[in-house]
Amino acid sequence: MGKKMKTIIFIFICVVAFVVSVIIGVVISANRLIDRRYQYLDVNFTEDVGYVVENLTYGDKPLNNFDIYFPADNSKDNYSLIFYSHGGGFTGGDKSLVECRKHGQYLASKGYIFASVNYTYRTEGNGATILGMYEELMTAVHSVVKECESRGYHINEMATSGGSAGGCLAMLVAYKEPEQLPVPIKFVFEETGPASFEPDLWDMQTNEEKAFFINTLAGTTFTAEDVGTQEYQNAIDEISVATMINDNSVPILLAYGPKDRMVNPKAKYPLLDKLDEYKISHDFVEFPNSGHGLTGDPDKTKEYYQLMDEYLTEYFTNN
């Protein structure tokens, strides 16, 4: 092998080593941020504290499944359920994500039942919509409650929760048709879930962009000429939680970061306005230095989870 070739190979090896080290550094840094983000929820989840039953089904689609985190103590007459939908931009995610596991273990250790639920997210070929995801989750709630009953845990109240897309879906389950839930909904706590899909709040400029945006989310077939019609507005309202708030809406705890580049920060304001208009009890925790992952404000993370604990104590009756 010539000297020139050896030099080329050496340089190549150095470049590969550098790239690998950068990737490892990024992964380690990301894991540290995740660990810090959910540090408040850390518990020693041993069998005397609780247990998890995985991959239970509620329908015939591949992602119609859920995990339930149970407290070890099954002697109470009634239990409270937290129904959690994962994030992933409506195009991915899973019930076993770290935020799902951390919440599940923590809340089960406090005596609550926690269900982490999968749903059919959108792929290039399946055309899944937000309403379809919502309908699957409404079916899942009933299956979760029945499964708990079969294991000796009677559910008499619930809250919904989630992050990002899951936060949006958690709000839809709580606010769209709460009378269809198998047990009363008491409150919601969610992070960075889009509350309005008005295209102007997402900086859509042309009618073509606006029509495509709503068609993608709602499964409609609007053209640019349809933008501004009542049918077009109805499709937006059907998936925008802000339009569903009324005098009977339950309290909610919300968290958002102004540096979010995935969910436009403006999309939360119609919801906050409606909560104020109808005088619905709520707390909004802003993470001023954070984007979508809410990793830039450890003090606000603690504040959010302390408020979560307060909501659990105030609005659930089984404490």
Report the Cα 4 to chain-centroid distance in Å: 55
pLDDT at 279: 98
Mind spelling out the 3-state secondary structure of the chain?
A: CCHHHHHHHHHHHHHHHHHHHHHHHHHHHHHHHHHHHCHHHCCCCCCCCEEEEEEEECCCCCCCEEEEEEECCCCCCCEEEEEEECCCCCCCCCCCCHHHHHHHHHHHHCCCEEEEECCCCCCCCCCCCHHHHHHHHHHHHHHHHHHHHHCCCCEEEEEEEEECHHHHHHHHHHHCCHHHCCCCEEEEEEECCCCCCCHHHHCCCCHHHHHHHHHHHHCCCCCHHHCCCHHHHHHHHHHCHHHHCCCCCCCEEEEECCCCCCCCHHHHHHHHHHHHHCCCCEEEEECCCCCCCCCCCHHHHHHHHHHHHHHHHHHCCCC
| CA–CA gap between residue 234 and residue 173 (Å, rounded) | 18
pLDDT at 127: 87
Indicate whether 79 pLDDT > 60.
yes
Tokens representing 16 are: 């590969």
Please write the tens of the pLDDT for every residue from 147-173.
Answer: 999 999 999 999 999 999 999 999 999
pLDDT at 121: 95
Computed over every residue of the chain, the mean pLDDT equals: 91
CATH number of 47-196+240-315: 3.40.50.1820
Average pLDDT of the residues in 195-211: 97
Indicate whether 10 pLDDT > 90.
no
Contact criterion met (CB below 8 Å) for 158 and 82: yes
Residue with tokens 């070929």, as numbered in its chain? 125
Indicate whether 26 pLDDT > 80.
no
pTM for this entry: 0.89
Average pLDDT of the residues in 173-200: 98
pLDDT at 6: 52
pLDDT at 32: 43
Q: Percent of the chain beyond pLDDT 70? A: 89
Average pLDDT of the residues in 301-316: 98
pLDDT at 25: 31
| 20 confidence band (pLDDT: 50, 70, 90) | very low
